[in-house]
Amino acid sequence: MAESVKNSEYVGHVAKKLTQEEIEKMQAQNSRLVSEFRANQLEKDAKKHWDLFYKRNDTRFFKDRHWTTREFHELLGLGTEDDQKILLEVGCGVGNFIYPLIEDGLKFKMIFACDLSPRAVELAKKHILYNPKNIKIFQTDITTENCFCEVDYSVNIVTLIFVLSAINPTNFRTVVKNLYNVLDIGGIVLFRDYGLYDMAQLRFKPGHKISENLYMRQDGTSGRSIKLI
């Protein structure tokens, strides 16, 4: 079941060459894998584990993402008084993405935000900038059909920040279909995630690898390193 580890892989637009130490770390991960039974339980209980994550960490774990307008130039110039857009954030957590946009002065006709964790949704609604008149935050599972039934507009922008890595690739088709159905003509999808062989992946010890590029964290949540082809 152990996969071979090449010493060079393309990460984004740059070829990353693994050092000998990094190769040994990757090979060590293969020495003890998560059992199939445990892996199935992790996927089945994903909602529970994320809810426990937010119970433990409240709003303290993730920092507000004030870097997003620098990373996504597409956001610049959007949300003006004369041309207000509709935004959908998938995997909103406690609001570390949407509220910094508001603080930075971007204005939207409507913001929809959703998360798998009901506790995260409730925490996001407690933010001082939350206004139910133009912000709608709801719980949903984006791997299921009709998951965006609470989104009653076609949206111009969809964001997924460290979300795809938490989804089983067997569900990608359903996720893409759901996004397509809610996205307006000419709309855009912005995402950022863990890259193949980044530091987050190299830090995993034996006993945490589920399958190729998929890992179990200490808290029971799981994450995948993404390779763009």
- Encode pLDDT of 146-158 as tens digits: 999 999 999 999 9
All structural domains of the chain with their residue ranges? 20-224
Q: What is the pLDDT of residue 10?
A: 45
Q: Of 65-69, 106-110, 197-201, where does the model show the most confidence? A: 106-110
Q: What is the pLDDT of residue 50?
A: 62
The more confidently predicted of residues 185 and 28 is 185
Q: What is the pLDDT of residue 81?
A: 63
Contacts of 201 (CB under 8 A, 6+ apart): 194, 213, 215, 225
Distance of CA 34 to the CA centre of its chain: 22
The more confidently predicted of residues 125 and 217 is 125
Residue 119 has pLDDT above 80, yes or no: yes
Residue 159 has pLDDT above 90, yes or no: yes
The per-residue pLDDT for range 10-53, each reduced to its tens digit, is: 444 555 688 888 888 878 877 777 677 776 666 766 766 666 76
What is the third-level CATH fold of 20-224?
Rossmann fold (3.40.50)
Q: What is the pLDDT of residue 192?
A: 85
Q: What is the pLDDT of residue 203?
A: 77
pLDDT average, residue stretch 88-110: 90
> By mean pLDDT, which of 69-73, 77-81, 86-90, 192-196 is the weakest?
77-81
